[in-house]
């Protein structure tokens, strides 16, 4: 389930956003800017809804910070503000925001805009030629996988499966969904075959195997920043 981070100091708007989006997304709320920055690091949200007028840190400043950090540089940001002047809107877009919604807003319209920005961002990710996180690099065009600049051989099916995980980060993927999207809806492959291929991929990833997490009773998830990898990286330093 996609995660939406809401940085909004007005409890009424927090409630409205949660009641509108919670049936489709996991909604995480921050009461101020500093808390929002910390929650963004902790949860790696799919999209951020950001108020401009906050009690501690200006929303424009937060947007600039998010765009300057690798982890959130491509995360869709929608400003929510009662400011309806052209200067505020232009400034928001100049800082890298993807959309600007005026308060008060219609809940269904907000949901539609959130869906649209998420779809656009997913399409943009799918069109990139390479993906790199820590020491893992995937060349989508060449169908090649590199770990610490050393190429690791992957079969065509293993590469397709790894690519599917990478292009759906932080989403819990059921075995049925993996089968439908990687093997095809008409396949007679069993869940055990999925598990076997994932074990093979994790073995080849070596120190980066924990990027693919097993979610008990649910399936699997690709985590761009697993704790064990972060720990190994810090220990190596």
Tens of pLDDT along 76-106? 999 999 988 889 999 999 998 999 999 999 9
**pLDDT at 237 (0 to 100):** 38
Three-state DSSP state, 204: helix
| Residue 148 forms part of a structural domain | no
The stretch 189-207 carries a mean pLDDT of 92
| Residue 186 forms part of a structural domain | yes
Position 29 pLDDT exceeds 80: yes
The confidence band for 183, taking pLDDT boundaries of 50, 70 and 90, is confident
Q: Which domain holds residue 221?
A: 154-236
- Eight-state DSSP code of residue 61: H
Residue 183's CATH number: 1.10.10.10
Q: What mean pLDDT value characterizes the chain?
A: 88
Three-state DSSP state, 149: coil
Residue 10's CATH number: 3.40.50.2300
Domain count, the chain: 2
Q: Do 16 and 118 belong together in one domain?
A: yes
Q: Do 161 and 76 belong together in one domain?
A: no
Three-state DSSP state, 70: coil
Q: pTM, whole model, 2 decimals?
A: 0.61
Position 232 pLDDT exceeds 60: no
Q: Do 33 and 116 belong together in one domain?
A: yes
| Residue 102 forms part of a structural domain | yes
């Amino acid at each position: 389930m996609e995660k939406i981070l809401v940085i909004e100091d007005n409890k009424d708007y927090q409630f409205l956003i949660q009641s509108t989006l919670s049936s489709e997304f996991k909604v995480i709320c921050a009461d101020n800017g500093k808390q929002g920055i910390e929650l963004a690091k902790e949860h790696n949200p799919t999209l951020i809804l950001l108020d401009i007028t906050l009690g501690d840190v200006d929303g424009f400043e937060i947007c600039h910070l998010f765009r300057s950090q690798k982890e959130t540089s491509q995360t869709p940001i929608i400003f929510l503000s009662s400011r309806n002047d052209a200067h505020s809107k232009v400034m928001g877009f100049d800082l890298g925001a993807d959309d600007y919604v005026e308060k008060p807003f219609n809940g269904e319209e907000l949901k539609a805009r959130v869906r649209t920005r998420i779809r656009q961002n997913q399409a943009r990710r799918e069109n990139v030629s390479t993906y790199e996180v820590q020491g893992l690099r995937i060349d989508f065009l060449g169908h090649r996988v590199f770990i610490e600049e050393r190429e690791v051989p992957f079969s065509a099916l293993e590469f397709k499966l790894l690519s599917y995980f990478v292009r759906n980060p932080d989403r819990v993927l059921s075995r049925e969904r993996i089968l439908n999207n990687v093997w095809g809806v008409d396949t007679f492959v069993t869940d055990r075959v999925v598990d076997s291929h994932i074990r093979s991929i994790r073995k080849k990833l070596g120190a980066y195997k924990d990027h693919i997490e097993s979610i008990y009773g649910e399936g699997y998830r690709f985590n761009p920043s697993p704790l064990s990898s972060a720990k190994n990286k810090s220990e190596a330093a």
